[in-house]
Structure 1
């Protein structure tokens, strides 16, 4: 990992990037190579998993979802002097998320207790004092050779180096608990999923009463709020009230936009795999488009009050660019229609990130 020179630090390059060109410069120079280096380590580790099913899903999650880690790694561009902590932490946490999502999507089990125990690893990963357990205890496949244990320990190790983590811990845990609940309910028997999710929404929906049940569920499925709080925890002076404001700026709208875009482009893939997709619960395409467009505007409004708000505006434009530039868009007629509408009249920042997203996919993925 390349160290920052004193001159770079003196020039303030460890601070948040001021514009899209500055952000992408950091992405190409630091984030991309270091995320890929970290993923290479975990790919090699996954290759040694003894159980063939666990090994298959671990490797597939890295091969097919690498861009999740690259996207999360953007937050390390907000404080380059701490990227030696943020990048390994974000990559390890996102790798747990993607691995478990694969395990549950293609599961040999439909036991909600199994899914909850698997995802206990994500709650343990954000608690430096938690002692990892056998997360596979309720399923047939158990021997991962310590792979998930090492991912959890890496997160704990990096978190212990964040000077402001104690102020952010409660907000991070709240988001992680919501994420865990979602993963349990969305992966149970298909005929029970929608009912379980709606019942959960009745209990938790007051957190975002203006969102439909599927939109609330989508918002809980994003890790971006957690990554933003990791970045904030680099500040030793971070307060609990600031953490609350940061969480509120990201959840539900930035997080919801993130996952609704993810589901938007995955509709055909999810139909083929029999997976639940939150974009399928609108009456028609126009309603779906209007709701996603509203989420864009709500997200923009929410981040205005954050310090370094320009970076968060770039995150929103980057999300739209990243997902709408995906090759899956051109393969689905309805998605093409929605994409064209969302891209119509795009600001230059979004177009800039759109072009860069295509370049990164073609060059690196």
Structure 2
């Protein structure tokens, strides 16, 4: 396995050093990038597309902040990694809004929209009219600019050739999930189950809803972007990163996201993978299982302490969310997951609250 070299290229190995980089470099850079995309979104001619683009930036900024933490492991490349991660995550959040609050239930429409994410990580392909199958189509070039920004920055990653097949796999699975989860509610569960049947050999230890959750995370993609900033990245190293993040680290990320969104999703009629457990105890035990599997998986990676911080940071970030205190059952689950937490998790819990309140 390759390791990043030189002092500014080394993975931070303890929480204080990681967060000092986040506060000093990453959060300001993310804010700058999002300010630019907010300006672009505000100029979208179609009112519905403009509304969803602006809403995705306003309500999901923390997705970009969290994803850009990977740039803290290679500060010399942060001028490439931060714009890349923010642009890619902004595409993801924008399309999620378009599909969640869609005027369409056409899976071909959703598939074409998400083709933009596959094109964003494959500079060799041409751009398409991603809105061709929906009524709202005039975004003034917004989505194309996001895709081009990803491609322009990918061109500056010297190890990208080794990472590309594994990134394409993760983005393909992500796109599949977004298509099936947003179709007619009467059809989506059956579509998801059929999709799982085709892939369940990859994750036999997971239930169908847990596999689906794992495909909904962009963390594996961001880690591979980071790895591709090293010219020494090879296929073997990229494969180990892929298998260390998918499915358990990725699955933990999205299961926590769904955990805190249960009340909100019920009101909106949105699919929530935590609702498929028989009871609260089962949900708690399965999330705890995924946590332990994620911890085991990342031990195969160099600088595993950095990836352990990612896991504990996920728990601290989501369990500190204000939505937790608004839901009695989730508040209890959160307390039990935080019980006897390592100091690292408590540290990230406190930092997440501080960032939400003051930054």
Task: Give TM-score, length-normalised by structure 2.
Answer: 0.98
The structure-2 alpha-carbon separation of the partners of 1:11 and 1:172, relative to structure 1 and needing over 3 Å to count, comes to: closer
Q: Distance in 2 between matches of 1:132 and 1:318?
A: 36
Q: Distance in 2 between matches of 1:238 and 1:175?
A: 18
* CA apart distance, 1:329: 0.1
Provide the residue aligned with 1:296 in structure 2.
291
Which of 231, 235, 258 aligns to 2:226? It is 231
Are 1:319 and 2:320 matched, yes or no?
no
Q: Deviations over 1:265-293 (max 9, x none)?
A: 00000011000000000000000000000
Provide the residue aligned with 1:26 in structure 2.
21
Q: Distance in 2 between matches of 1:355 and 1:268?
A: 24
Q: Distance in 1 between matches of 2:152 and 2:146?
A: 10
* CA apart distance, 1:195: 0.6
* CA apart distance, 1:28: 0.1
Are 1:359 and 2:330 matched, yes or no?
no
Which of 295, 304, 307 aligns to 1:309? It is 304
| Superposition CA RMSD, Å | 1.1
Count of residues paired in the alignment: 356
Matches within 5 A, 1:10-49: 12-49=7-44
The structure-2 alpha-carbon separation of the partners of 1:190 and 1:11, relative to structure 1 and needing over 3 Å to count, comes to: closer
Provide the residue aligned with 1:100 in structure 2.
95
Which of 78, 83, 93 aligns to 2:73? It is 78
Structure 1 residue matching 2:82: 3-state secondary structure: helix
Which of 171, 187, 194 aligns to 1:199? It is 194
Which of 266, 273, 283 aligns to 1:271? It is 266
Provide the residue aligned with 1:5 in structure 2.
none
Provide the residue aligned with 2:210 in structure 1.
215
Task: Give TM-score, length-normalised by structure 1.
Answer: 0.97
* CA apart distance, 1:14: 2.8
Deviating above 6 A after TM superposition, structure 1's stretches of 4 or more consecutive aligned residues are none
Q: Distance in 1 between matches of 2:6 and 2:208?
A: 47
Q: Distance in 1 between matches of 2:72 and 2:59?
A: 23
Task: List gaps (5 residues or longer) in structure 2.
Answer: none
Q: Distance in 1 between matches of 2:73 and 2:319?
A: 24
Q: Distance in 2 between matches of 1:125 and 1:11?
A: 30
Provide the residue aligned with 2:56 in structure 1.
61
Q: Distance in 2 between matches of 1:356 and 1:291?
A: 26
* CA apart distance, 1:305: 1.1
Are 1:131 and 2:138 matched, yes or no?
no
